């Protein structure tokens, strides 16, 4: 199945994203598996416009929106991360087991400069890592550009994100490449996860790539590569596009 997006940049993004995010994660990612009590995360608000962050402060919220807007910008193929509700997804996860590190091994020893093949080796829970990383990046931006990250124009935000990805910006106690990887991974998860977790509003990301969602049976279409799935996706809660 394929919806064959027309934008080369969006095609590249989707190709890379779907390799990194298994199909099961489109329904429920590792980041959204459980709350601290083991139950599903709270249902999402219907509109991102009326969502008030529970964990992130106003400056952190501004950073997240400015950052994910550049990681997945909107174009003719589909909505960007902000329109899809990714910031809401991220905020909800900070109050769930994922944000508290409840699903991870969080005992030492901690090895900040360990190779990526060893996985996450930092002492911070995800919510601590976001708080510390955002503050450090905003401080760096003020020193270099006299503005916070969110106050910078899009081209400068792009350049800074590229520097973070390559580890070219030094921040005390925050490995920048690891922070970028965490932010990008969680942004992809929020963009493609089931809408009940806050992102992928109206299942727009699923419709864009032709993913059927939680439909009980679409086996007849598996053997028809290249054909657009015609019926639209269904969410875990039963909503239809």
Report domain extents, the chain: 8-222
Q: How does residue 95 score in pLDDT terms, banded at 50, 70 and 90? A: very high
Residues 6 or more apart in contact with residue 239 via CB below 8 angstroms? 195, 203
Is the torsion defined by CA of 109, 111, 112, 118 positive or negative?
A: negative
Q: How does residue 65 score in pLDDT terms, banded at 50, 70 and 90? A: very high
The model's pLDDT over 182-241, given as tens digits with 9 standing for 90+, comes to: 999 999 999 999 999 999 999 999 888 888 888 777 777 778 887 777 788 888 887 887
CA dihedral 97, 135, 83, 194 (to 10 degrees): -10
Is the torsion defined by CA of 2, 21, 33, 45 positive or negative?
A: negative
Taking CA atoms, 31 is separated from 7, 44, 91, 109, 189, in Å, by 29, 15, 12, 23, 8
Question: CA-to-CA distance for 4 and 6, rounded, in angstroms?
Answer: 6
Taking CA atoms, 182 is separated from 130, 156, 164, in Å, by 9, 21, 11
Is residue 37 predicted with pLDDT exceeding 50? no
Phi and psi dihedrals of 143, rounded to 5? -70, -35
Taking a C-beta distance cutoff of 8 angstroms, is the pair 191, 81 a contact? yes
The model's pLDDT over 104-113, given as tens digits with 9 standing for 90+, comes to: 888 878 877 7
Question: CA-to-CA distance for 71 and 90, rounded, in angstroms?
Answer: 14
Residue 192: is it exposed, middle or buried by C-beta count within 10 angstroms (0-12/13-18/19+)?
buried
- CA-based max dimension of the chain: 58
Position 88 scores a pLDDT of 96
Question: CA-to-CA distance for 141 and 238, rounded, in angstroms?
Answer: 44
The model's pLDDT over 131-188, given as tens digits with 9 standing for 90+, comes to: 999 999 999 999 999 999 999 999 999 999 999 999 999 998 889 999 999 999 999 9
Question: 86-94 and 58-71 are packed helices; what angle lies between their axes, rounded to 10 degrees?
Answer: 130
Residues 6 or more apart in contact with residue 238 via CB below 8 angstroms? none
The model's pLDDT over 4-31, given as tens digits with 9 standing for 90+, comes to: 444 445 545 554 555 555 444 444 544 4
Taking a C-beta distance cutoff of 8 angstroms, is the pair 178, 59 a contact? no
Position 96 scores a pLDDT of 93
Is residue 34 predicted with pLDDT exceeding 60? no
3-class secondary-structure state, position 234:
strand
Reference 83, options 181, 180, 208; nearest CA is: 208
Q: Whole-model pTM?
A: 0.79
Q: Cis bond leading into 180, ω under 30°? A: no
Residues 6 or more apart in contact with residue 34 via CB below 8 angstroms? 40, 41, 96, 97, 102, 103
């Amino acid at each position: 199945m394929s919806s064959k997006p027309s934008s080369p940049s969006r095609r590249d993004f989707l190709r890379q994203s779907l390799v990194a995010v298994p199909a099961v994660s489109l329904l429920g990612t590792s980041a959204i598996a459980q709350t601290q009590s083991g139950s599903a995360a709270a249902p999402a608000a219907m509109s991102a416009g009326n969502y008030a962050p529970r964990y992130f402060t106003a400056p952190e919220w501004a950073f997240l929106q400015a950052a994910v807007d550049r990681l997945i910008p909107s174009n003719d193929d589909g909505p960007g991360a902000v329109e899809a509700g990714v910031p809401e997804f991220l905020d909800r996860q900070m109050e769930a087991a994922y944000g508290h590190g409840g699903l991870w091994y969080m005992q030492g020893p901690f090895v900040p400069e360990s190779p990526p093949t060893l996985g996450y080796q930092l002492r911070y829970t995800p919510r601590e890592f976001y708080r510390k990383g955002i503050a450090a990046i905003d401080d760096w931006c003020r020193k270099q550009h006299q503005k916070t990250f969110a106050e910078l124009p899009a081209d400068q935000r792009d350049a800074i994100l590229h520097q973070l990805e390559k580890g070219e910006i030094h921040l005390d106690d925050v490995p920048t490449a690891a922070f970028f990887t965490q932010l990008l991974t969680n942004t992809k998860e929020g963009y493609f996860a089931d809408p009940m977790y806050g992102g992928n509003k109206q299942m727009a990301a699923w419709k864009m790539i032709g993913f059927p969602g939680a439909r009980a049976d679409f086996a007849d279409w598996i053997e028809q590569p290249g054909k657009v799935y015609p019926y639209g996706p269904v969410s875990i809660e039963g909503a239809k596009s």
